[in-house]
Amino acid sequence: MDSHTLAAQTADTGHVEDEHAPFLRHHFESVPQQREAATFGMWLFLTTEIMFFGGLFCSYLIFRNWYYPAFVAGSHTLHIWAGTLNTTVLIVSSFTMAMAVHAAETRVRRALMGWMIATLILGCGFLCVKAYEWHDEWVDHHVPGLNFGPESFLHGTKAYPDDKLPLDVAEKTQLYFSLYFLMTGMHALHMIIGVSLLTILLIQVRGGKYVNGHVAPIENFGLYWHFVDIVWIFLFPLLYLISRHQ
């Protein structure tokens, strides 16, 4: 017991005695081993996530090839300003998250909390913009299965007068919106999980954790956050930017 408290003290002063660090779980030999295991586990988890989204991306690829005009018309109805704004918000949040990891590594608690709060606010901001967009699509009858009508694609729009589709093609926009809601929905679900985890971590940091050299949870949450960000980087062009130049 004595040696444990001693180790905790040396950890606080910056001299980590690896073998006796208080956060070292009993089945690991050393702190680096524990940290490597956690990081490797996180990367593997992200691989499963890639496969999970992969099924959706694969479906998207097939249907976009089959029903290209419908996908173009569907994409033109999205608010490009909202997509751009959200892309910016997420990229900035990735930066703040990276800074949070840096703050944890340098063991500066106030900076860590600051960057985490910034990330949290940006994440919530993203979700608000997304909710606003979804609401708009509901109003426009663009939600497949629940509230869908192809009427808006029969006559073209002000911005894109060429989007005049025959009825059978207009019906196919339903698949575009199915994939749109599936992909952005799954992404938003990951954002909600991320925001929740971030809140928990924030409370723990307030209680004094993760600034004593035990940065793995913050670091791995950072990996998760960047992953969710990268998914969006793919979703934005695939869903919002189909043939915008015409």
Give the interface segment with another protein, choosing from 15-23, 36-44, 97-105, 231-239 (CB under 8 A): 36-44
144 binds another protein (CB under 8 A): yes
User: Binding residue for another protein (CB under 8 A) from 129, 182, 202, 241?
Assistant: 182
Query: Whose Cβ is closer to another protein: residue 115's or residue 177's?
Result: 177
Give the separation between CA 94 and CA 88, rounded to whole angstroms.
Answer: 10
Residue closer to another protein by CB (options 179, 201) is 179
Q: Which is nearer to another protein, 181 or 221 (CB)?
A: 181
Beta carbon of residue 9, minimum distance to another protein (angstroms, whole number): 27
Question: Closer to another protein at the Cβ: 148 or 160?
Answer: 148
| Range in contact with another protein (rule: CB under 8 A) among 11-19, 52-60, 207-215, 217-225 | 52-60
Sign of CA dihedral 35, 37, 41, 43: positive
Using rule CB under 8 A, residue 41 touches another protein: yes
Q: Rounded distance, CA 105 to CA 115, Å?
A: 13
Residue 230 binds another protein (CB under 8 A): no
| φ, ψ of residue 148 in degrees (nearest 5) | -130, 135
Q: Which stretch binds another protein (CB under 8 A): 44-52, 119-127, 191-199, 232-240?
A: 44-52
Write the CA distances from 199 to 41, 213, 226, integer angstroms. 22, 20, 17
User: Does residue 99 belong to the site contacting another protein (CB under 8 A)?
Assistant: no
CA-wise closest residue to 170 among 184, 185, 182, 156: 156
For residues 117 and 123, is the Cβ–Cβ distance under 8 A? no
Cα 198 to chain centroid distance, Å, stands at 12
Q: Does 62 bind another protein (CB under 8 A)?
A: yes
**Does 179 interact with another protein (rule: CB under 8 A)?**
yes
Q: Does 174 bind another protein (CB under 8 A)?
A: yes
Which distant-in-sequence residues (6+ apart) come within 8 Å of 14 by Cβ? 107
Q: How many secondary structure helices (H) and strands (E) does the chain include? A: 7, 2
Q: Which of 3, 12, 22, 45 binds another protein (CB under 8 A)?
A: 45
The interface region with another protein, picked from 5-13, 21-29, 112-120, 228-236 by CB under 8 A, is 21-29
Our measurement of the distance from residue 231's CA atom to the centroid of its chain's CA atoms, rounded to an integer in Å, reads 7
CB of 44 to another protein, least distance (A): 5
CB 112 within 8 A of CB 222: no
Non-local CB neighbours of 202 within 8 Å, separated by 6+ positions? 113, 116, 117, 120
Q: What is the DSSP letter of 143?
A: E
List residues binding another protein (CB under 8 A): 25-29, 33, 36-37, 40-41, 44-45, 47-49, 51-56, 58-59, 62-63, 66-67, 70, 144-146, 171-172, 174-175, 178-179, 181-182
